Amino acid sequence: MKTILLAALLGAILSCALGERKSYDGYTVLEVVPKTEEQLRFLGELQHGPELLDFWVEPTKVGSPVSIMVSPIQFRKAQVLLMKHGLKPQRTVENVQSLLDPMWKDIDQRMQAKGGMVFNLNDFNTIEDIYSWMDTTAANCPAAITCRVYSIGNSHEVRPIKIFHISRSGTNRKAYWIDATIHAREWIAPATVLSILDVFARRGDANAVRLTDSYDWYILPVMNPDGYKYTWDTERLWRKNRRPNAGSTCFGTDLNRNFNFRWGTEGVSHLPCAETYCGPSGGSEPETKAVQAELVRLGPNVLASVTVHAYGNMWMFPWGNTVNHAGQTCERASDHAELMRVSDLTANAIQNTYNTQWARGNSCEVIYTTTGGTDDYAKGVAGIKYAFCPELRGNSFIINANQILPSFNEVYNGIVAMCNAING
């Protein structure tokens, strides 16, 4: 009997432990400013190297701050390494857990008050509540349009990857695509996209009526449902998907390095434990496969795709690589000037909402080199001319829910301006 009770107790303890959220107590965010090209190159190598540091703001150009989250174990080694290369690390966040505690307190109180989570557009929502709300919203669509929710495939943990499709009668209708949450920890991304979905599905203003009358909309709020679920249950700052990596104890691939276009050449890591691990091959992940197939299927009719990330106030477009992958000059698309024209009008509309500043341009030039990204695949393989990648507002992955509404307002204004710019 004692053996049975002890086994039950141990099982309960293990169950609780598995369900506990990771503590980021003692985790620090360091900021450095590269002053030379040599320092910039070093930081780029460090980002994808065996030190496995978590870059919150990646190295982009000389003079631009770089932010790195380090654990208590990593702190001293990272500090020494940075200073050895002439960089002067400054702490911008003393204790990451102190940023998370108020957020989890609010969420837990909300759950207790309602006896479980209740969907709220002005707050962050679980994957279960998001999917339930999508189904309910589709069922209550206005008569003027047709709404449906469909799955383009399953994640590694067999969660459906759900798209909300808005259409109406008519032939040869062009379409727009919006996706978010390829990186699980970027919670402001799905929250913003869900509010955009809501205004379209309700035909909530004159622009929404016009744009749903004229075009189909394919909206994928959570591309990485396993990773997003994991950020709620276990590790708030998890980035990748959740598929185990062969020959490694580390989980997950960076899905935004896994698309099968110029895969694995620049701005990636081939180390399975790294945050920017590009996977064993291009398009290896079930989530990537599903999105690739759907982009190719829809591509001939899609005027523009928008893959939403956070954070940094940027509106970007292909390409993400340098010429011949030589690491010097960024490659520009043949229609760079046209992409810049539309991006300028879009970013200006976003800026004018709250008098903010948004960078815009080729992603390699604006932020850093990447290959295997969604927007490059959309343009390079699916043939979508206008493939955009915004980085939303904020200065951290941990953002207050009160930023959801202003994020929606400014990005929605940008989407309207983008459509107007593309269609004259």
Asked if residue 27 lies in contact with residue 94, where contact means CB atoms within 8 angstroms, the answer is no
Closest CA to 49 of 24, 68, 22: 68
- The maximal CA–CA distance of the chain, rounded, in angstroms, is 78
Half-sphere exposure of 257 (CA within 13 A, CB side): 26
Residue 128 is among the residues annotated as catalytic for this protein:
no
Cα-based distances in Å from 32 to 27, 38, 398 = 16, 14, 20
Return the structure tokens found at 227: 């990773």
Six-digit token string for 114: 């309602």
For CA atoms 356, 357, 362, 367, give the dihedral sign: negative
Host H or E run for residue 175 = strand 175-180
Burial class (CB in 10 A: 0-12, 13-18, 19+), 1: exposed
Q: How far is CA 381 from CA 35, 284, 376, in A?
A: 37, 16, 8
Choosing from 186, 365, 391, 410, the catalytic residue is 391
Nearest to 350 by CA among 262, 254, 415: 415
The CA–CA distances, whole Å, from 310 to 301, 364, 385 equal 27, 17, 23
Among 216, 238, 215, which Cα is nearest to 225's? 238
Q: Beta-carbon neighbour count of residue 90 at 10 Å? A: 11
For the chain, helix (H) and strand (E) counts, in that order, are 13, 12
What crossing angle do the helices spanning 404-423 and 188-202 adopt, rounded to 10°? Answer: 60
Q: What are phi and psi of 206, to 5 degrees?
A: -60, -35
Q: Which residues belong to the active site?
A: 391
